[in-house]
Structure 1
């Protein structure tokens, strides 16, 4: 039996893990568990970080600014919630009278009864009469299911649509049809986050050698560490662009390497690659797929691939579908997180993206390609089998 490879961590990973314990408000043990590392290791990293920060740095003014920003965000969210009922009135109008009455009842502590009755075209007397009658079995069932839907939707960071929520309900033992879940979500205005498309960052106008498309869109992989796919995207902050380079293991769609920086350089891509190599320790023969960008075609980057026995593969010119898995990941990241944020600094964006990838995406988010398992769960189930 082979001796398990000891995991290694980059300085960037350690720094972001320690920052997560400070700024998320969660206990160190919980953060360590979410990141898949030992408590003692994370405590040691914290101690090392404290020593490094002890050189006269003060965070009091920064925390005051952050508290003020948090307060303003909270007030903004409150104002948005106050407009929710009237914004969704049209959806309730398409449903039956009992559904409108139930909507009024669920919001009776936030809005005036008569205002809601006028918006939903029902009489206040009819509403009070309905509320005095015993609740039907179907109404009780709908209320119970909606409660479970809201919990799942909230835990998914409002990223799940009806298919993923329906799958989660089935795994909880609920007997319900997908169409009913979709209808309840539509009536209640429970939606997955959406976002517009964005432009690419590939810089393929160079004279560096490019590799053949060895992968050839064979995205279904039989085992871990057989194929990695990488790409770079960007995130806007008030300080300027923040660039993100990642490597995905196509077996589980897990992000195995990542790096963020303010410049789109070869070094950024190499940092992501070295993180993946340290975490996964692959054997020679792994296929490394990317676009034809100068960061991946660079001599120094290709030298690292050769040194570790990795086989380079590159997409055809101008063909984003050849690297569709990473493009899909970037779409998910921007749809579910980035486009719903307004980052004041690159540092703030880095922290938010690090938590999304390492805590939520890799370990919690249900992936439709993986049978609605998270990447880490999918790899664990395969290892047991």
Structure 2
């Protein structure tokens, strides 16, 4: 009776690797004096990870074979044990994972200490930044962080936005002057000088306030005219309008949209609009959404420029804001 022969794990592994490298079953069976069926069984065991018993405990194959492994375990196994004759694509196919999983870089946890230090630096420079702007600023510095984590850290470390506000009304709608209808609500500009929007705001200084009137092109949201003054009256709004006309020279029919304040409803302002063939338009009283683009610009101006500078004099404002 023929004696039963045993083959080492190393030999079985080498046979399977030679097969996967391209050698045929017939050639392998002849070279190693084995039956083709035995060679085939060895290859199947190799693909299932059954020849890894000599590896450390972290590399052992579960009883269920490769199917019981997570994608991360399969990826790590391919990286450490892939034979030279097997490509990455073939190794991923054998273990049932996408090739992109092999190249995936494991996420590394960001140290909260370094993150908070960076957030504090940003907050010192931009004290009005909320969590959304903070997230964008961190991304520019190479930190990709979930917004919920940013909100938590800002709350725990006192980095909430700080805004200095002294509110004062800029719209005097309690008058009997004529009001233009709201034409802007039906206009979607597709080019420049079709719709201009205007608004007025205050800039706080040590001794009081500085008045700023701004004119925007609604299509590009570019500032086309502005004026700075010590008092809020029709002279301020006219100065902003005239600077915009001189700069852009709009065609007849351009819509001039404002709030319904007395400055914009004054006879001198209406006369200037008629002289330059503007079409007047005003938002409804108490509805800031009717002039949202101008309101949004004023908010951005305050947050990104005014609140950060803490102007002291009229001259400071006039030198910096333009």
Tell me the TM-score normalized by structure 1. 0.47
* CA shift in 2, pair 1:189/1:235, >3 Å: same
1:265 equivalent in structure 2: 233
Distance 1:333 1:254 in 2: 13
Q: 1:145 aligns with which of 112, 115, 118?
A: 115
| 1:256 partnered with 2:224 | yes
Distance 1:254 1:234 in 2: 20
**SS across alignment from 1:267:** helix
* 1:189-228 pair list within 5 angstroms: 189-196=158-165, 198-216=167-185, 221-228=189-196
Q: 1:346 aligns with which of 288, 291, 314?
A: 314
C-alpha contact 2:260 2:282 (8 A) present in aligned 1 = yes
**SS across alignment from 2:210:** strand
**Highest CA radius of gyration, 1 or 2?**
2
Greater relative CO (CA pairs within 8 A, separation 6+): 1
- Of 326-335 and 227-236, more deviation after overlay is shown by 326-335
C-alpha contact 2:127 2:308 (8 A) present in aligned 1 = no
Distance 2:186 2:132 in 1: 26
C-alpha contact 2:258 2:291 (8 A) present in aligned 1 = yes
**SS across alignment from 2:274:** helix
Q: 1:290 aligns with which of 251, 258, 283?
A: 258
Q: Deviations over 1:38-81 (max 9, x none)?
A: xxxxxxxxxxxxxxxxxxxxxxxxxxxxxxxxxxxxxxxxxxxx
C-alpha contact 1:242 1:262 (8 A) present in aligned 2 = yes
Tell me the TM-score normalized by structure 2. 0.55
Distance 2:142 2:310 in 1: 39
Distance 2:150 2:175 in 1: 51
* CA shift in 2, pair 1:346/1:225, >3 Å: same
Distance 2:143 2:131 in 1: 14
1:158 equivalent in structure 2: 127
* CA shift in 2, pair 1:179/1:221, >3 Å: farther
2:93 equivalent in structure 1: none
C-alpha contact 1:240 1:346 (8 A) present in aligned 2 = no
Distance 2:202 2:270 in 1: 23
* 1:58-207 pair list within 5 angstroms: 138=109, 141-154=111-124, 157-170=126-139, 174-196=143-165, 198-207=167-176
Deviation, 1:239, is 4.2
Q: Deviations over 1:211-251 (max 9, x none)?
A: 11111386x75444332211222344454442211123333
Larger % of helix: which?
Answer: 1
* CA shift in 2, pair 1:262/1:332, >3 Å: same
Deviation, 1:150, is 4.3
Distance 2:241 2:231 in 1: 17
* CA shift in 2, pair 1:252/1:349, >3 Å: same
Unaligned runs of 5+ in 2: 1-107
| 1:315 partnered with 2:283 | yes
1:375 equivalent in structure 2: none
Distance 2:122 2:115 in 1: 11
* CA shift in 2, pair 1:151/1:256, >3 Å: farther
2:292 equivalent in structure 1: 324
1:31 equivalent in structure 2: none
Distance 2:290 2:186 in 1: 6
Distance 1:200 1:263 in 2: 13
**SS across alignment from 2:244:** helix
